[in-house]
């Protein structure tokens, strides 16, 4: 089996050399073909690539962007798999073997990716190495193939994405509307799921990623590009993947502490199902359900095939589930959009079993960072989808709940300025409890 490794370059020769040298060292020669698409580099990259006998190179006379460049590489590739790899990565021992083992462990797996040191989407792990040598020693110990560490995901970041050729042939190439880059990997992930395949993160495989090397030099351009492509994604799919793919890790941890085995669990406003997927990954013996008002998000969540997801809204009274059915109902920040939250909670209470509980994670309205944004006039609408501790207690008791336990996830003041600001808040309010201002997330268990 051969994998076509496709790398795009635009200057940054020092990173490209490190990447290619690591591929040669840690990958068997008969396992891959190496295709490099150069987007009109102005340093010595072109000269270097022309000297490499084991590289199939394409030289563009202009920067066509990441999606279009990848498509050029895919078009001439011959491998059984396509691997999109950023040139600011360094691969490691067993990296490709481990990912291929996961990719072909099931027919319905369409693409996989590794963990790294620098990446969004919770694909990064903490590391302590201080040199390339230490990194490779770390990876050698880390990269032990283990199916227990394969985790299904809603999306994969495209810095290193291994895809079956049969999947590419079915769904097509990357969408070039997302040039010069960013959100093309989100789009491709959703297209893979739409086609009936699954995505997995190989938490048994580590490679190094320097991260956004090209874009770091032009931060303003990068920010504008991200905003533009985020808007294009929303126009194409009908939802905001940046928001809809976030998963609340605290829910799995809260349920793990509780008696969570073989329970019926419903998430309100489940978006594309990322949180339910995380719960399924961590706590496997439950029956999962979701209610989502956006039909486009609900469609993606349904495609994941592990939860019963319905289109509906608590406020519209369209909860199409049996009364007294759920052991846990999960609520997050979107609940703050309810026009009448007390009535919504009272309605949800009807669907809880006798011993059932609401498990909620709300942003704390009084956290010092939120207060700072409000006072300096920079608070955005999403910053105001919040609750205070007092408001939560009042709301749940008014809805008929008998016990309301509130704890929190702290985001502590670190700078001297912020520490002083917290003291000012305590002085002005007359409330000396640090929790009120330093819990960023309020975790609620209501019976």
Task: Note the pLDDT tens digit of each residue in 351-377.
Answer: 999 999 999 999 999 888 888 888 888
Q: For the chain, which domains are there?
A: 3-236 (3.90.550.10), 246-446 (3.40.50.150)
Q: What is the pLDDT along the chain (447 residues), one digit of tens a residue?
A: 999 999 999 999 999 999 999 999 999 999 999 999 999 999 999 999 999 999 999 999 999 999 999 999 999 999 999 999 999 999 999 999 999 999 999 999 999 999 999 999 999 999 999 999 999 999 999 999 999 999 999 999 999 999 999 999 999 999 999 998 899 999 999 999 999 999 999 999 999 999 865 555 667 888 999 999 999 999 999 999 999 998 899 999 999 887 778 999 999 999 999 999 999 999 988 999 999 999 999 999 999 878 899 999 887 766 888 999 999 999 999 898 888 999 999 999 999 999 999 999 999 998 888 888 888 888 777 777 899 999 999 999 999 999 999 999 888 888 888 888 888 888 888 887 777 888 999 999 999
CA angle 202, 175, 247 (to 5 degrees): 40
Q: Among 396, 370, 369, 372, which Cα is nearest to 384's?
A: 370
| Sheet with 352-363, side-by-side order of all strands | 307-311, 287-292, 264-268, 326-331, 352-363, 439-446, 404-410
Per-residue model confidence as pLDDT tens digits over 309-351: 999 988 776 688 899 999 999 999 989 888 899 999 999 999 9
Query: Strand ranges (DSSP E) for 285-331?
Result: 287-292, 307-311, 326-331
């Amino acid at each position: 089996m051969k994998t076509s490794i496709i790398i795009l370059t635009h200057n940054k020769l020092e990173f490209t050399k490190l990447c290619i040298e690591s591929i040669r060292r840690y990958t068997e020669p008969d396992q891959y073909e190496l295709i490099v698409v150069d987007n009109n580099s102005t340093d010595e990259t072109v000269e270097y690539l022309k000297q490499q006998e084991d590289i199939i190179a394409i030289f563009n006379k202009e920067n066509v962007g990441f999606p279009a460049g990848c498509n050029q590489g895919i078009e001439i590739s011959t491998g059984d798999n396509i691997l999109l790899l950023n040139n600011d990565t360094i691969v490691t021992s067993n990296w490709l073997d481990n990912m291929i083992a996961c990719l072909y462990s099931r027919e319905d797996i369409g693409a996989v990716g590794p963990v790294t040191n620098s990446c969004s989407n919770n694909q990064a792990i903490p590391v302590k190495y201080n040199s390339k040598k230490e990194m490779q020693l770390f990876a050698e110990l880390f990269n032990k193939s283990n199916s227990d560490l394969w985790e299904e995901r809603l999306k994969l970041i495209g810095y290193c994405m291994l895809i079956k050729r049969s999947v590419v042939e079915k769904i097509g190439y990357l969408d070039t509307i997302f040039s010069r880059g960013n959100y093309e990997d989100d789009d491709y992930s959703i297209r893979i799921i739409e086609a009936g395949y699954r995505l997995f993160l190989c938490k048994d495989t580590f490679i190094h990623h320097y991260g956004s090397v090209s874009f770091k030099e032009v931060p303003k351009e990068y920010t504008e590009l991200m905003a533009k492509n985020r808007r294009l994604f929303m126009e194409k799919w009908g939802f905001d993947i940046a928001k809809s793919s976030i998963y609340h890790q605290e829910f799995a941890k809260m349920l793990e502490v509780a008696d969570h085995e073989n329970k019926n669990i419903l998430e309100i406003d489940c978006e594309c199902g990322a949180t339910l997927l995380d719960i399924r990954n961590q706590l496997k013996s439950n029956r999962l359900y979701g209610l989502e008002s956006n039909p486009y998000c609900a469609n993606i969540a349904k495609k994941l095939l592990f939860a019963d997801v319905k289109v509906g809204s608590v406020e519209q009274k369209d909860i199409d589930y049996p009364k007294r059915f759920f052991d846990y109902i999960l609520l997050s920040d979107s609940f703050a959009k309810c026009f009448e939250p007390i009535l919504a909670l009272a309605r949800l209470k009807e669907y809880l079993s006798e011993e059932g509980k609401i498990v909620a994670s709300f942003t704390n309205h009084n956290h010092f960072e939120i207060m700072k944004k409000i006072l300096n006039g920079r608070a955005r609408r999403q910053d105001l989808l919040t609750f205070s501790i007092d408001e939560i207690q009042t709301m749940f008791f008014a809805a008929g709940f008998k016990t309301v336990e509130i704890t929190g996830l702290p985001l502590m003041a670190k700078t001297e300025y912020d520490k002083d600001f917290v003291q000012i808040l305590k002085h002005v309010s007359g409330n000396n409890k640090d929790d009120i201002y330093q819990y960023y997330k309020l975790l609620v268990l209501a019976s």
